[in-house]
Amino acid sequence: MAHDQFGGLTGWDLEGFHGGGDTEVWRRLGSHVVTVPDDERGEVTGVRFAVWAPNAKSVQVIGDFNWWTGDPMRLVPGSGVWATFIEGLGEETLYKFRIETADGTWIDKVDPMARFSEQAPTNASIVYESRYAWSDDEWMARRREAQAHREAMSIYELHLGGWRRNKSYLDLAEELVSYIKWQGYTHVELMPVAEHPFEPSWGYQVTGYFSPTSRFGKPDDLRHLIDKLHQAGIGVIMDWVPGHFPKDEWALGRFDGTALYEHADPRQGEHMDWGTYIFNYGRNEVKSFLVSNALYWVKEFHIDGLRVDAVASMLYLDYSRNEGEWVPNEFGGRENLEAIDFLRYVNRHLYEREPGVLMIAEESTSFPGVTKPVHQGGLGFGFKWNMGWMNDTLRYLQLDPIYRQYEHNLLTFAMVYAYSENFVLPISHDEVVHGKGSMINKVPQDDWRKFATLRAYYSFMWSFPGKQLVFMGCEFGQRPEFNESVSLEWWVSELWGHGGLQRLFRDLNMIYRSSPPLYRLDSDPAGFSWINADDNAHNVLSWIRHDGEGNHVACLTNFSPEPLRDYEIGLPLAGTWEEILNTDAPIYDGAGEFGNLGEVTAVEQPWGHFPARANVTVPPLGSVWLRRSDAQ
């Protein structure tokens, strides 16, 4: 052979992969169009294929270029990686790996490092090289300087296929960007976009970790969508699933006939609840694979943050297991020490490599220090979903108002631990599926009360310490549960109640983003003061948000169907307080009968721990926000 049979790949190139320290392994494994020296012709171009299969007897690459019959691959010296270079091949080539296991069985596998794949039900890997020219330099420069904890963050979570059916990445680059900009969210969060064969898994059962799903177009089309969001000033968070992967025989599971990416022992390597395999976080090559995957999305697709799915299932060896179904760690405990080390590794590495990136944990337990820096003994995430706040407030929301006075603590308890972590308040897809009911259908009584209560609830949420996340369709009160196979019911936003709620969300976002007291000190107790935490008799909560620079927003929410007139409150400053939000306003389909004529006057008379007091009207099942600054 006149040229290098491995396409320039050497055992030296793979040392980092085998040592757990190669965080850009997609550059070495998988398929790449490369040009290599040739003794006779100077150089030749083709595709280099490389795959990790250390326990295979032999490996072939099969594809449309050889009628799926197989070209032999060879072990790169000093590694468990098989590779070959095939001259003349280029982009759009379809291929798989045919692996002979130790017992002589042949299995066909898709490429774990494929950067593009066929759309289900077919699954071949596709040779792909990006040629995308980004236009988001301004956004990326600002991201590197960002201080997320001190900035506004309201996140719109969506499933690309269910937002509007049959829309491509390119369609969404127009329609989704326009809608998000109009609504005023700072970020979108995409449910997993990595390739997955089973649509009802919503992307949480990944078979192509480096391959954007081809349901909506090519990888560069997704880059275009992200670019357009960035140009519109909108950040992009992506759900990332390093906790488990499906058992499809053609994907990662038992890749070379042995447990390669997963633990061999089902007590460590299988999720019984989900019918999936668990990654072996202690194996160096698996660490290289997963950390590389996280960096790949951030670096190659300009993703601004990863929301890490099912962190609780990673942290505990006995997660959803009975006695005898799990293996204790080396100290006899239930913590998965290898997974903890891996999470610290990936968080530390991404924050070092890509300053300003967001790492967000979906973590439902009381595991300490999820958002504490790694060097201080924490896991190193930037934010954690506040599942306790979500569960408590939704329980309260579903109560008939007459019973809410007895469960007042459901709304106040979150302040006990509000500063133990950096929190995102999530009303996610998980809350509107599987019989839980849509948000509008969680609320008791008639439509007037349902919509008024939702307006009050979301205003309560947007003014509470923590960043906000809401799932698509909630912003206009969609009645059916989330169903990935149909579009949202956009037509209802033209109807009474639905349209008002949608307009409220727009104003919540606009007022929130223009009011630093509502976000600047989310992670600092100095940013919050109770006015009255104990008025359970009226189902009312009231507090002040501060920005540390002399600006204040007073937030009052009445979860009773009775209006409050001349409701006395304490305030930190005397003078005129502007009414910047009233959820009873006609524009939100409220009655328009219970307001403060645009302002409230506070007089210098002590009230509780405040130097001033005022009388306020708070609408039934409604919220009022008042704003004042020291400079006035």
| pLDDT for residue 87 is more than 90 | yes
Q: What is the pLDDT of residue 255?
A: 98
pLDDT tens digits, one per residue of 495-522? 999 999 999 999 999 999 999 999 999 9
Q: What is the pLDDT of residue 393?
A: 98
| pLDDT for residue 187 is more than 90 | yes
DSSP labels, 432-470: GSTTS--HHHHS-S-HHHHHHHHHHHHHHHHHSSSEEEE
| pLDDT for residue 556 is more than 80 | yes
Active site positions, annotated: 309, 362
Residue 75, number of CB atoms within 10 A of its CB: 17
Cα–Cα separations (whole angstroms), residue 24 to 211, 237, 287, 508: 15, 20, 11, 41
Q: What is the pLDDT of residue 365?
A: 86
**SS3 label, residue 493:** helix
- What does pTM read for this prediction? 0.97
| pLDDT for residue 2 is more than 70 | no
| pLDDT for residue 538 is more than 70 | yes
How many whole angstroms separate alpha carbon 487 and alpha carbon 201?
A: 17
Cβ(590)–Cβ(619) under 8 Å? yes
CA dihedral angle for residue 350, residue 351, residue 357, residue 363, rounded to 10 degrees: 80
| pLDDT for residue 269 is more than 70 | yes
Cα–Cα separations (whole angstroms), residue 213 to 27, 355, 390: 20, 27, 30
How many whole angstroms separate alpha carbon 286 and alpha carbon 18?
A: 9
Residues with Cβ within 8 Å of 581's Cβ and at least 6 positions away in sequence, in order, are 459, 507, 508, 511, 623, 624, 625
| pLDDT for residue 3 is more than 90 | no
pLDDT tens digits, one per residue of 228-257? 999 999 999 999 999 999 999 999 999 999
Q: What is the pLDDT of residue 629?
A: 84
Cα–Cα separations (whole angstroms), residue 95 to 110, 131, 261, 467: 8, 21, 21, 44
Q: What is the pLDDT of residue 403?
A: 96
DSSP labels, 385-417: E-HHHHHHHHHHHTS-HHHHGGGTHHHHGGGGS
Sheet holding 81-87, edge to edge: 30-38, 42-52, 81-87, 74-75
Confidence grade of residue 292 (pLDDT, cut at 50, 70, 90): very high
Positive or negative: CA dihedral 366, 384, 476, 204: negative
Phi, psi (rounded to 5 degrees) for 246: -75, 165
What percentage of the chain has pLDDT greater than the value 70?
Answer: 99
| pLDDT for residue 1 is more than 70 | no
Task: Tell me the pairing of strands 194-195 and 622-629.
Answer: unpaired
Q: What is the pLDDT of residue 232?
A: 98
How many whole angstroms separate alpha carbon 227 and alpha carbon 137?
A: 10
Cβ(213)–Cβ(225) under 8 Å? no
Cβ(85)–Cβ(47) under 8 Å? yes
Helices (H), 232-310: 266-269, 284-300
Residues with Cβ within 8 Å of 267's Cβ and at least 6 positions away in sequence, in order, are 321, 325, 326, 327
331-348: buried (b, 16+ CB within 10 Å) or exposed (e) per residue? eeeeebebbbebbbbbbb
pLDDT tens digits, one per residue of 10-44? 999 999 999 999 999 999 999 999 999 888 888 99
How many whole angstroms separate alpha carbon 427 and alpha carbon 412?
A: 18
| pLDDT for residue 366 is more than 60 | yes
pLDDT tens digits, one per residue of 101-155? 999 999 999 999 999 999 999 999 999 999 999 999 999 999 999 999 999 999 9
How many whole angstroms separate alpha carbon 262 and alpha carbon 295?
A: 21
How many whole angstroms separate alpha carbon 110 and alpha carbon 231?
A: 35
Positive or negative: CA dihedral 146, 148, 149, 154: positive
CA dihedral angle for residue 123, residue 124, residue 125, residue 129, rounded to 10 degrees: -100
In this prediction, residues 199-221 reach a mean pLDDT of 95
pLDDT tens digits, one per residue of 311-344? 999 999 999 999 889 999 999 999 999 999 999 9
Q: What is the pLDDT of residue 337?
A: 96
Tokens 């019989």 sit on residue? 435
**Average pLDDT taken over every residue of the chain:** 96
Q: What is the pLDDT of residue 631?
A: 75
**Helix-, strand-, coil-residue percentages of the chain, each rounded to 5:** 30, 25, 45
How many whole angstroms separate alpha carbon 149 and alpha carbon 29?
A: 37
Q: Is 166 exposed, middle or buried (0-12, 13-18, 19+ CB in 10 A)?
A: exposed
Q: What is the pLDDT of residue 200?
A: 86
Q: What is the pLDDT of residue 558?
A: 98
Residues with Cβ within 8 Å of 420's Cβ and at least 6 positions away in sequence, in order, are none
Structural domains of the chain, with CATH: 12-126 (2.60.40.10), 525-629 (2.60.40.1180)
**SS3 label, residue 10:** coil
Q: What is the pLDDT of residue 480?
A: 96
